[in-house]
Structure formats: structure tokens, C-alpha cells
Amino acid sequence: MWAFREWLPVNPPEGLARHVGGTPLVRASRLDGDADCEVFVKFEPTNPTGSFKDRGSAVGLAGTTGAVGTVSHGNMAMSMAALATDADRRCLVFVPEDISPERLAHIDQYNPTIYQVAGDYGELYAETVSLDSKPGVSFVNSDSPLRVAGQKTTGLEICASVAPERLDAIVLPVSSGGHASGIWKALKELRAGGLLDAVPELHLVQAAACDPIASAYRRQEDTVRPVTGGDTIAYSIANPEPPSGNRALAAVRDTAGSVVSVSDTAINKARKTLAFEAGLSVEAGSAAAYAGLCQLTESGPLTNQASIALIATGTGFREPQELSGDPRVIHFTDLAGETMAE
């Protein structure tokens, strides 16, 4: 991502943060069939902590001094803690009281100070934003300008990878709206710089159980109203009160895109297809994007002529996997006697 240093508000840091971004754009032709279009996958699991969050954390750290704080119990917490410890910076992570022990351990391995918060977690987010910098602590939350600046590099890299060709659309899962805001920023800057005549459409995908941005889009409103989110396997995209929701809606409108919701059943199927066909293991929240893409081409507005970049936002390696219904496991005792054909 530091190839775009002139587009960023900070200088490239040393250490682990230097190696964030620059992820591959994979032409995954085996995904074309179900999606009914030409599919490219921007594969973010190759980042140091396995998600695009490292982009925002790297810029967030480079743009602040002293301790950093974040309100997250998922990929953002891991990302901040990992990059902070490498930079010899203290990291404060605020997680909800009911976080699972597995998730807590994933964060804890990177040595942050963890505050487990009783009470309303959504309210806490707003409070830390208004605190902004408690003496010596800078909060780099999902919609902080430094994080959004870092996360725009996903968009810059995608456009640079296919140039001088242009993609018809970029499809990504959305929760707080921070990543979508960043990618929109990239497209606007490329357009303003005369580097893109027409910008790709931005299509955003949410889990049906918690889809405040998609609901506002369906109601044709400009503002996102908080929802009471239900359970979904896509926990990374289940923010019931997205801080950058309105900006995500504006991005969609500006680029003639859309916001769709997908069921957990569709998400699970998409996750399996990504691994089984394309060899790409992503987490459920990330697989939602492929489920959304299949829906977008089936019922419009995307056509089968389209070339699409799907953003695989986070790794599947942290999630338990289940055996496929018909695993190709062969039990044998005599290697010499096996033909191994087919």
C-alpha cells in the first residue's frame, strides 16, 4: 500500500506496518459460473493479521503518537494490537463483557491492555470518539479519518491492478461503513485526478439478520437508522448502528451501486464455494460479498458481461470448518494396492 505514499497523509512506517497491503487481485475464473460474470478477488487475508483492517491500523499508528485505543472485539482489535506491539506502542482494546474466550485469546496474543466493558457497547463507541484523545491515548476507530485514509488503498490497488482496463463494479461486505467510505474516497480521488473516466459501481452486502444500511437503501432514505440486530454467522459485519452508514449510502448513490442483504444459508454456501472452487478460505462475513454478487447478477442490476472485483476482506483460518457432506476421504492400508485413479 505504501506504493501510494503520495496519496496518504503519513509517511511509510518501519517494521510490520510497512508490509501491510499490496495484496493480490486474483482472477478466479472458477467463480464465474455461479456469479454469472467475470470475477476478480482482492485477497486481503495475505495482510499480517489476515484482514484489510491492517491498512487502517497502519496509517492510524503512523499518524499518532503514544498509546492507541480501539473499540472492537474482532479483526480491528487484533490488527491494532499486532501492529502496535511491533511498533513498541501501547494498545488499549475495549471489548464487550460477553466476548467468547476464543476471540479474547486471539486478541490477547498480541499483548494489548484489554478493557472488558459492561453495559451498552454502542454507546461506548460514541463516547470514545468524543474523547478522541484522552491524555496520551489516540482512538483509531472504524470511521476515524486516518483509518479511512488507510482503507482507501484497497480501492487504489484494485484500480491500479486492472489499469488501463476498468472494472464494472466492486462488491464488498459492509458493517460500520468505514471500508466502503475509504474505497469511495479512492474512486473520487482517481476521478478528480483524471485517472478514471467512469468509476466502478460500488455494491455493498450485509447479512440479512443485521442490515441497517441495506434497509435504508430499500426504503430509499439518506440516513441509516439503528436496528436491533439478530444473530448471524457473519459477526464481523453485524454492526446494528454503523457510524459511517450514511456515507456508505452516499457512496452507493454516487457510483450507481446498491446495497443488498443475504441470508446465513447463502453466506455459508458462498464460503464453501470460494474454498472448494477457488482455493480461497475466507470468514463468513467476507463470504457474504460473493453471496451478494450472485444475487446481484441473478436479479440485476449486474449483468453477465460485467467484470467484478470482489473484496475478500478476512481470512477463514480463524473459524472452525465443517466437513463437506461427501468428503473425499479414502481409508486404506496397502499403498501399493491403491490405483489412486479418479
Residues that bind ligand PLP (CB under 6 A): 51, 53, 74-75, 142, 173-180, 236-237, 283, 285-286, 313-314
CA distance 293 to 172: 9
**Phi, psi (degrees; rounded to nearest 5) at 176:** -75, -25
Task: Give the closest residue to 253 by CA, choosing from 184, 207, 206, 299.
Answer: 184
CA distance 137 to 92: 8
> Closer CB to ligand PLP, residue 232 or residue 313?
313
103: cell is 476471540
CB of 159 to ligand PLP, least distance (A): 19
**Phi, psi (degrees; rounded to nearest 5) at 50:** 85, 10
> Closer CB to ligand PLP, residue 273 or residue 313?
313
> Closer CB to ligand PLP, residue 195 or residue 317?
317
CB of 196 to ligand PLP, least distance (A): 22
CB of 283 to ligand PLP, least distance (A): 5
CB of 288 to ligand PLP, least distance (A): 8
CA distance 292 to 112: 35
Question: What is the H or E stretch that residue 169 is in?
Answer: strand 169-173
CB of 50 to ligand PLP, least distance (A): 8
> Closer CB to ligand PLP, residue 63 or residue 212?
212
> Which residues, in sequence order, are CB contacts of 171 under 8 Å at separation 6+?
203, 204, 205, 289, 292, 293, 296, 308, 309, 310, 311
CB of 52 to ligand PLP, least distance (A): 7
Position with the least CB separation from ligand PLP:
314
Cβ proximity of 153 and 186 under 8 Å: yes
Cis peptide before 164 (omega within 30 of 0): yes
> Closer CB to ligand PLP, residue 72 or residue 297?
72
In sign, the C-alpha dihedral spanning 248, 47, 7, 157 is negative
> Closer CB to ligand PLP, residue 134 or residue 317?
317
CB of 47 to ligand PLP, least distance (A): 11
314: cell is 478476512
> Closer CB to ligand PLP, residue 109 or residue 330?
109
CB of 178 to ligand PLP, least distance (A): 3
> Closer CB to ligand PLP, residue 36 or residue 275?
275
CA distance 275 to 322: 12
